[in-house]
Amino acid sequence: MCVTGFFTASAPAQAADPYPSAPNCVVESTHATIQKGSSGSSVKEAQCWLNKFNYGLVVDGQFGTATDSAVRAFQKSKELEVDGVVGPKTWNALIYGTKPPVDSRAQKVQRVINYARAQVGKPYVFGAAGPNSFDCSGLTLRSYQQAGITLPRYSGDQAAKYREVPASQRQVGDLMHWPNHVGIYAGNGKVIEAANSRTGVVERNVWGTPTYHRVIP
């Protein structure tokens, strides 16, 4: 399974006025969570804001290597998680220079479930972690990133990191683990998982006897 390496870059000096009163970076953007491989208006806006800090990006809406490197350098300069993902914390730091308020558990869980559910129907590809295809741990990795949580890359490591809870106490948003496989408990006896190359990403009834792990306390 491939794991993308981190780029190492030092942050350039900030622009004299990184938060102008009338910024020209406002576009028709939803401030979606974006990462390498993403494209569209949210990428354009992120590139524009990064250029306020003198990163010198081409504002083309394509999240490639240069944008990924700039995002990681910016995150490092703001003491954020350096993961190359422009999520809520990085958006707030780019636009307002602040970190967002701490979400409640319910809000974090909803972010995770909404993202995972939006991937249903995409293909399973071993070693993939989005945005167009996933393997099991790639889906959980990207889903929990929506709540500001960075999981290890491999399924066994993901489960080992978090406290196991009895099946009778499972909650929506818990990580589910089978031997060499993980998914997300979606409630009502359902799991969202990147199952295999035949089914792709699916939401279906819980099967087998997984263990449950409390990622979001």
pLDDT digits (tens, 9 = 90+) for 160-192: 999 999 999 999 999 999 999 999 999 999 999
Question: Which pLDDT tens digit goes with each residue over 90-128?
Answer: 998 998 876 556 678 898 999 999 999 999 999 999 999
Task: Quote the domain boundaries for residue 200.
Answer: 105-213
**4 pLDDT exceeds 60?**
no
Examine the domain organization and report whether 114 and 199 are in the same domain.
Answer: yes
pLDDT-derived band of residue 138, with 50, 70 and 90 as boundaries? very high
**35 pLDDT exceeds 60?**
yes
Q: Residue 151: inside a domain, yes or no?
A: yes
pLDDT-derived band of residue 31, with 50, 70 and 90 as boundaries? confident
CB-CB contact of 93 with 80 (8 Å): yes
Examine the domain organization and report whether 141 and 73 are in the same domain.
Answer: no
> Domain ends where: 42, 70, 101?
101
Q: Which two tokens stand for residue 67?
A: 């944008």
pLDDT-derived band of residue 21, with 50, 70 and 90 as boundaries? very low
Residues in the chain: 217
Examine the domain organization and report whether 66 and 126 are in the same domain.
Answer: no
Q: State the CATH number of the domain containing residue 192.
A: 3.90.1720.10
Examine the domain organization and report whether 89 and 164 are in the same domain.
Answer: no
Which are the catalytic amino acids?
Answer: 136, 181, 193
CB-CB contact of 36 with 86 (8 Å): no
Examine the domain organization and report whether 115 and 167 are in the same domain.
Answer: yes
Q: Residue 2: inside a domain, yes or no?
A: no
**22 pLDDT exceeds 90?**
no
Whole-prediction pTM value? 0.59
Examine the domain organization and report whether 32 and 131 are in the same domain.
Answer: no
Examine the domain organization and report whether 151 and 196 are in the same domain.
Answer: yes
How far is residue 127's CA from residue 138's CA, in Å, rounded to a whole number? 7
Examine the domain organization and report whether 147 and 83 are in the same domain.
Answer: no
Q: Residue 1: inside a domain, yes or no?
A: no
Give how many domains the chain has, as a whole number. Answer: 2
> Domain ends where: 101, 129, 144?
101
Examine the domain organization and report whether 133 and 207 are in the same domain.
Answer: yes
Examine the domain organization and report whether 82 and 181 are in the same domain.
Answer: no
> Domain ends where: 73, 101, 129?
101
How far is residue 74's CA from residue 77's CA, in Å, rounded to a whole number? 5
Examine the domain organization and report whether 177 and 206 are in the same domain.
Answer: yes
Examine the domain organization and report whether 133 and 168 are in the same domain.
Answer: yes
